[in-house]
Chain A
């Protein structure tokens, strides 16, 4: 009987297991050293802040795995023999497989700073990091976070919930500058500052120094400043975990190289999620270290493994995040800097942390992407608009249909349209009337199939 072994119980690996089980009866085993059961990595911050306990972050009850005949093994894989199809675990146990999925995830980056491994200096990626952070923050008063991205702002929020002062070193001249345009970055920055974060932009980490007790006591920056601190959070991105793959004859680049079917260079070995580097004919290979893409890759691979060979096509891009109290969603592609041939329309609330940016092709007016802060939008509507090349005019006039804010919330579509008409006086756009019964809830508009 064939046996599927998955290394890694993150969202990608677990999704493969679940979907293979839905389609097939083969034996399935997941091996991971991190935790016994699958938990939601995205919820680590909420455990720290006391919103939840670890138990709450498990998406499936413990009995789920046995019930679905998915064997769990908590161990490291030391070796993979792809010739004999046998794995050797750290415990010495040998496990054979007929198909193998590498879902080893990623690791936090460290760029060789002096003192980067001192006690009190850490990254945040896995459950062990969370435990370490609990320990490191116990007596901390002042923290420095390095790297202006999502993990960094999460760490800042976590530390501030414990009353720890946070200074945030950001290499770019604005927050999350490689993703967010200026206006949005400002909005997030100002909101984070209200919560007590001190930003230092265009500033990089130089060295980390220790005090008499051997723990971190200060850092120096590229601007020559010295900052006293007793906690340093490094959040300068992640890179795929490929050590195991590399020593097991798998072709690796930055990640484990796979084709569009998520197959590696070795027969019956696949890679999904953060660790996979998808080769493309033109341009840079894709690594997608996201929850959503890990899930979609897992679903695709499960089809292939169960005999329905399917190409991974992630469709219209989307992502979301939350910066303290401000929610962010994006659909399609919104560049951080202006691009030739692409215009953008931006509206921001005068007081609240609410803004919308819609980008569109200058010549055809076809919408290419949206950033929205403080207004929730319907995923399927935006996906629909973007995949069907809707024009800016249509999108603006129908913006109301995409609103996904809770009931009784104030709506801003009128303000947005008015602002647009003011900016482009030749346009006299009006909101299309609310079509409650005919439009909003008809089959095309809900995600009914």
Chain B
């Protein structure tokens, strides 16, 4: 069809798809390759709390030294062991009425209370009896001996103290959920062995590398298939981009991955070992589940960033901002934090900031930064300066885009890997209403949560108005940090568009948006009355802004949510839209601007003279 020979393109792209699919299948398949054997040696390093180790070890006896190939049943067994332990811990450690009766029988016989009676009552050497004897000794030793107390008095005291002791059993003897999660992951990790960790390089090549090469073989030939320009053909006819079947499959996969990452990282242990050597080299310690996530995340931004370079090769704006995204993700979000770990410094992503980085003001982070010398102090000051001074200043000058589509990691993924889904965002007025309520609520929640945490940090008082500040923080982390930003925010890309989190949830976006809306030079200028209302701009707006609604009445666009990606301007077939930073107020009074006639201005005499010159 074309003058140049393009026959090679289709087969190369097809092989690319095959390679990608193969690599992806190997990547998924390796999750079922490990085997697990719990031994004394694997148990000890996994449970680093010696008390917990002592407590749980006897219960794990049934699982020891057996090789299991079924990951799910192995993890379930361990999880059950922990939950059974926690469920029965009270039963085993509390001082029962039988115990008390036995004790009181002896008291009745002797006429007084004596500590020696405890050894007789709890006539065994196990941990439970030892615990009960110790506790009763601590609580009742003052009662022992012939003090002339009546039997009724003694009975009352023993009953009273027993219930006091019982009230503390759970706190002292159960293992909290957070620790259980850590132990399960650590146990699965230390007890597992398999082909992936033995042949890491091989598996890396045939999964990640193969899929990357496949993706590039699909992406790069696009450059030679047609002249540069807007390439949106068949987007709404392909089920991989129109919200159809392939989108649903992709969404299911992403959601499952996020659930595993946040709540069940032990299921992706093979993926962690896949990048373990790489991270050992980078940070000196090795990989965690978040390492493989960060690695794939960065890789996705780079590969799909290359796709952006090619898709928008006619537009310097997209080329430069995609380059910026790739730079900030790979250097600031990926490499720098690992290098900081290696240097034994607090690891931090210097381009991230509160309130998106909601744990910045957590006690552990503040302690860690303030105890790390000059560099820690720098990070603390930098982190605060960035959102107190940096955000208002840069947003005034350049609009929200300086962060959201040029720097931010979440935005970076959305602009690259999420680009094929940008048109799926909902453009209705109702969606806009929901967006405004939800995103600003998250900002308010984040401020309250952070304020409470800081209050506790500086005063040491753990509750405000009867609410535990730590529970506020952990609720925020669960509902906003994990469910919203991860599972919904990214997992739902293929259904709700690529900016779900940025549009509905990100508290930083809400904050920057307020400045953009009320005090910024940034606007999208509408070119006179050139709009033909075709709808490309609105369709391809990832933030669900109905751009056309403004453009068709000649109104400039100033919206809190606009991240300045510039795609509306690119897809406009009449060149109607231009992102720019102006120094005058944008035209946003649509009562004045919904007239396309008579936009001729009156000239001053000097101007007329100079024109005729």
Contact with B along A381-408 (1 / 0, CB 8 A): 0011101111101100000000011111
Instruction: Knowing A56-B538, A441-B584, say if A449 contacts B592 (CB, 8 Å).
Output: yes
Q: B232 touches which one: A49, A59, A195 (CB < 8 A)?
A: A49
Question: Which residue of chain A has its CB nearest to the CB of B1?
Answer: A196
Check A409 against B236 for contact (C-beta < 8 Å): no
User: Mind listing 27 A-B residue pairs with CB under 8 Å?
Assistant: A40-B532, A42-B534, A43-B533, A50-B232, A51-B539, A52-B535, A56-B535, A57-B535, A58-B535, A59-B548, A161-B234, A165-B1, A196-B1, A318-B530, A322-B573, A322-B574, A324-B229, A379-B529, A379-B530, A383-B600, A387-B600, A391-B613, A406-B317, A407-B580, A408-B316, A449-B592, A449-B593
Cα–Cα distance between A437 and B600 once the two chains are bound (Å): 22
Contact with A along B422-438 (1 / 0, CB 8 A): 00000011000000000
Cα–Cα distance between A211 and B600 once the two chains are bound (Å): 57
The 4 residue pairs across chains A and B that have the minimum distance between CB atoms: A379-B528, A325-B229, A376-B575, A43-B534
> Does residue A420 face the partner (Cβ distance < 8 Å to B)?
no
Question: Which residue of chain A has its CB nearest to the CB of B546?
Answer: A61
Chain A, 257-296, CB within 8 A of any chain B CB: 291-292, 295-296
How many A residues face the partner with a CB closer than 8 A? 75
Check B236 against A52 for contact (C-beta < 8 Å): yes
Cα–Cα distance between A316 and B597 once the two chains are bound (Å): 10
Q: A410 touches which one: B228, B316, B586 (CB < 8 A)?
A: B316
Cα–Cα distance between A313 and B596 once the two chains are bound (Å): 12
**What's the minimum C-beta distance from A12 to chain B, rounded to whole angstroms?**
13
Question: Which residue of chain B has its CB nearest to the CB of A62?
Answer: B428
Residues of chain B touching chain A, judged by Cβ–Cβ distance below 8 Å, are 1-3, 226-230, 232-238, 314-317, 320, 428-429, 525-530, 532-536, 538-539, 548-549, 552, 554, 556, 566, 569-571, 573-575, 578-580, 582-587, 592-601, 603, 607-608, 610-613
Check A299 against B595 for contact (C-beta < 8 Å): yes
Cα–Cα distance between A441 and B235 once the two chains are bound (Å): 38
Cα–Cα distance between A11 and B530 once the two chains are bound (Å): 13
**What's the minimum C-beta distance from A23 to chain B, rounded to whole angstroms?**
11
Instruction: Knowing A320-B574, A406-B317, say if A394 contacts B600 (CB, 8 Å).
Output: no
> Does residue A329 face the partner (Cβ distance < 8 Å to B)?
yes
> Does residue A327 face the partner (Cβ distance < 8 Å to B)?
yes
Check B235 against A51 for contact (C-beta < 8 Å): yes
Cα–Cα distance between A322 and B571 once the two chains are bound (Å): 11
Check B595 against A59 for contact (C-beta < 8 Å): no
Check B582 against A40 for contact (C-beta < 8 Å): no
Residues of chain A touching chain B, judged by Cβ–Cβ distance below 8 Å, are 11, 19, 22, 40, 42-43, 46, 49-53, 56-59, 61, 160-161, 163, 165, 191, 193-196, 291-292, 295-296, 299-300, 313-316, 318, 320-322, 324-325, 327, 329, 376, 378-380, 383-385, 387-391, 393-394, 404-410, 437, 440-444, 446-449
Highest count of chain A CB atoms <10 Å: which of B320, B529, B536, B570: B529
Check A409 against B315 for contact (C-beta < 8 Å): yes
Check A391 against B611 for contact (C-beta < 8 Å): yes
Check B238 against A50 for contact (C-beta < 8 Å): yes
Q: B233 touches which one: A61, A161, A316, A385 (CB < 8 A)?
A: A161
**What's the minimum C-beta distance from B520 to chain A, rounded to whole angstroms?**
14
Check A56 against B530 for contact (C-beta < 8 Å): no
**What's the minimum C-beta distance from A177 to chain B, rounded to whole angstroms?**
23
Q: B236 touches which one: A50, A327, A394 (CB < 8 A)?
A: A50
Highest count of chain A CB atoms <10 Å: which of B3, B593, B610: B610
Question: Which residue of chain B has its CB nearest to the CB of A157?
Answer: B233
Q: B534 touches which one: A40, A195, A378, A380 (CB < 8 A)?
A: A40
Q: A385 touches which one: B525, B532, B574, B611 (CB < 8 A)?
A: B611
